């Protein structure tokens, strides 16, 4: 099997090769590793059908024994024992079939969920900025579960029922060669009807999966923005939007039910049963069949009922699984512009930064967020980046650790283009504290040590003290072991930002970037935080996006951005004298 080459920011060593060229081949390449379970399932499926066919055959023999003159009662005893023995063995083998199918389905779900999760972690921020979280969650949960169900009961029943289809073909000629005509005609018509059924069903199951993803996206957005919804008193409007998405999902599901209700093989089964019985009775009248033969043949025809009835559900499940696989694979195959560059440059950073003719836009259709940015920052310098909203301040610092890549020009760290650095080495030595702090629903200690999982408790507490967070942490009942709510909602804005500062201090980065990270700190704490940042900035390159004069004053260099371009560069005092754009920021 071949695998598509995809760039990624992060990847795990692949345990096995997977074919990403199509949903079916992708699923097969995952499933073929479990070949022993497939053998167990196939043996169980064939044996189940063969022993099911034994019942009408033995029943026919029993009727012939009763109708014999004189009646052969010993045949009844022998037949009863044979039926008992074959059905007991059938039960054991059927258990093996179901066990193999269930295990295949569970392992498939596990492997695909792992692959999808690792793939999502490897996607760039450009991908995650454009991909709705609700739709991603629908694919990672419901669609992955659909693949499990595709194998069990879906493919399990497809394989099992296919064996039932061929039993009348195998055993009918033992009574008369002409009796093969009815099951053969039925199978041919069944295959044609099934092809038409799947052809009509496939686009509908795809729409069902997509509409479910859109509905989930609407739900996730409403819950994520619940504070905004309630603050604007828009609950009714959100319910209306969600109802419209749910109605779309319902309508697609109803269309699927309509196609399933018109399943033609159900009608063909009735016709085949009647035609087969009439044919057998005709041969009986000709003296070519006995009563027992007629009963046995008609019983064999009834085996066609199992594949006919289960295919209504099984093939629908397989179609849904293929649609789910297509959605998951589309996500996995989505290209990202950034490469982790495993063979790239690795070294201890000194902290020298250089931007040369940098132009950057978030997408090709949008106006550039940065234009022709050229500047140099020496190791250990503290640089304040100021500008009005939308000037490109955050965009500029996100290029340093390759959250995004430039469209033109280049960014160099220690004289090496960031694109030539090993991405893990680059990012492990750069720490960014953003205005919107994200904390995990874990203990406070685990959140501080997120970038350095092997940190000792003493190191964690030292970082917390440096960030002026130790005092409020120890006021909690469980101290550093206190579990905070999702996204840190149980903490104040200032507390969240101090934990983020502690997280950055613990990793001891060569380059520290503060994106307006002290905006939520109260005035009583501000002086302590400023001293902590000032101490942390010593010996490392520090970029600070801020409007606070207290931070700007001690910066070695101030960069003024306006409209994505550098409007002025200099010290605070120099810019107050020479730059109207700089004075305008504080005037506003």
pLDDT over 60 at 235, yes or no: yes
Strand order from edge to edge, sheet including 430-433: 430-433, 511-515, 541-545, 382-387, 557-562, 565-570
Listed in sequence order, the residues at least 6 apart from 513 whose beta carbon sits closer than 8 Å to its beta carbon are 397, 400, 401, 430, 431, 432, 433, 542, 543, 544, 545
Query: How does pLDDT run across 149-168, given as a tens digit for each residue?
Result: 999 888 999 999 899 999 99
- What DSSP character marks residue 421? B
Residue 5 has a pLDDT of: 46
Q: What is the dihedral of CA 74, 78, 81, 82, to 10 degrees?
A: -160
Listed in sequence order, the residues at least 6 apart from 516 whose beta carbon sits closer than 8 Å to its beta carbon are 435, 545, 546, 547
Structural domains in the chain, sorted by start = 23-333 (1.20.1560.10), 340-429+509-588 (3.40.50.300), 439-503 (no CATH)
Residue 15 has a pLDDT of: 66
pLDDT over 50 at 296, yes or no: yes
pLDDT over 50 at 14, yes or no: yes
Lowest mean pLDDT among 60-74, 134-148, 269-283, 371-385: 60-74
To the nearest whole number, what is the mean pLDDT of the chain?
86
Residue 359 has a pLDDT of: 94
d(CA 294, CA 181): 15
State both tokens at 585: 């920021």
Cis, peptide link before residue 153, omega less than 30° from 0: yes
Lowest mean pLDDT among 251-265, 279-293, 332-346, 550-564: 332-346
As beta bridge partners, residue 375 has: 355
- pLDDT grade for 272, boundaries at 50, 70 and 90: very high
d(CA 245, CA 239): 10
- pTM, two decimals, is 0.73
pLDDT over 80 at 533, yes or no: no
Burial label, 278 (beta-carbon count in 10 A; 0-12, 13-18, 19+): exposed
């Amino acid at each position: 099997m071949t695998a598509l080459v995809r760039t990624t920011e992060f990847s795990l060593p692949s345990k096995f090769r997977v074919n990403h060229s199509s949903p079916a081949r992708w699923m097969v390449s995952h499933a073929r590793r479990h070949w022993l379970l497939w053998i167990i399932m196939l043996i169980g499926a064939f044996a189940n059908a063969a022993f099911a066919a034994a019942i009408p055959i033995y029943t026919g023999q029993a009727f012939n024994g009763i109708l014999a003159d004189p009646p052969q009662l010993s045949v009844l005893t022998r037949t009863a024992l044979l039926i008992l023995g074959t059905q007991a063995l059938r039960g054991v083998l059927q258990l093996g079939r179901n066990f193999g199918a269930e295990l295949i389905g569970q392992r498939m779900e596990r492997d695909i969920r792992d692959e999808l999760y690792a793939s999502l972690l490897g996607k760039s921020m450009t991908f995650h900025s454009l991909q709705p979280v609700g739709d991603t969650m629908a694919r990672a949960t419901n669609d992955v579960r659909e693949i499990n169900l595709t194998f069990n009961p879906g493919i399990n029943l497809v394989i099992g029922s296919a064996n039932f289809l061929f039993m009348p073909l195998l055993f009918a000629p033992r009574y008369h060669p002409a009796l093969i005509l009815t099951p053969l005609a039925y199978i041919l018509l069944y295959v044609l009807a099934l092809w038409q059924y799947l052809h009509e069903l496939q686009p509908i199951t795809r729409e069902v999966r997509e509409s479910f993803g859109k509905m989930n996206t609407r739900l996730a957005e409403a819950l994520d923005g619940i504070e905004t919804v309630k603050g604007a008193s828009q609950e009714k409007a959100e319910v209306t939007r969600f109802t419209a998405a749910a109605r779309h999902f319902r309508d697609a599901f109803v269309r699927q039910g309509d196609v399933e209700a018109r399943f033609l093989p159900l009608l063909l089964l009735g016709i085949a049963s009647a035609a087969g019985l009439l044919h057998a009775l005709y041969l009986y009248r000709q003296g070519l069949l006995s009563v027992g033969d007629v009963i046995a043949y008609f019983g064999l025809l009834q085996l066609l009922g199992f594949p006919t009835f289960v295919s209504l559900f099984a093939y629908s499940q397989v179609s849904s699984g293929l649609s789910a696989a297509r959605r998951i694979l589309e996500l996995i195959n989505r290209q990202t512009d950034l490469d982790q560059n495993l063979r790239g440059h690795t070294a201890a950073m000194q902290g020298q930064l250089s931007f040369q003719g940098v132009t950057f836009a978030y997408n090709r259709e949008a106006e550039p967020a940065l234009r022709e940015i050229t500047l140099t920052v020496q190791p250990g310098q503290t640089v304040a980046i100021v500008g009005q909203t939308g000037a490109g301040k955050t965009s500029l610092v996100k290029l340093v650790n390759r959250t995004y890549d430039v469209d033109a020009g280049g960014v160099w760290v220690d004289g090496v283009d960031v694109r030539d650095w090993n991405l893990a080495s680059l990012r492990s030595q750069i720490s960014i504290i953003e205005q919107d702090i994200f904390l995990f629903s874990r203990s406070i200690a685990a959140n501080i040590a997120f970038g350095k999982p092997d940190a000792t408790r003493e190191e964690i507490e030292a970082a917390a003290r440096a960030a002026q967070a130790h005092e409020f942490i120890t006021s909690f009942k469980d101290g550093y072991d206190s579990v905070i709510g999702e996204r840190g909602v149980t903490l104040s804005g200032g507390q969240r930002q101090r934990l983020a500062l502690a997280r950055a201090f613990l990793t001891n980065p060569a380059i520290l970037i503060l994106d307006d990270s002290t905006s939520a700190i109260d005035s009583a704490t501000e002086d302590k935080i400023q001293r902590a940042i000032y101490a942390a900035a010593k010996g490392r390159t520090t970029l600070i996006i801020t409007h606070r004069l207290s931070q700007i004053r001690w910066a070695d260099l101030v960069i003024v951005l306006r409209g994505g371009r550098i409007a002025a560069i200099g010290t605070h005092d120099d810019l107050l004298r020479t730059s109207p754009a700089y004075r305008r920021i504080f005037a506003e």
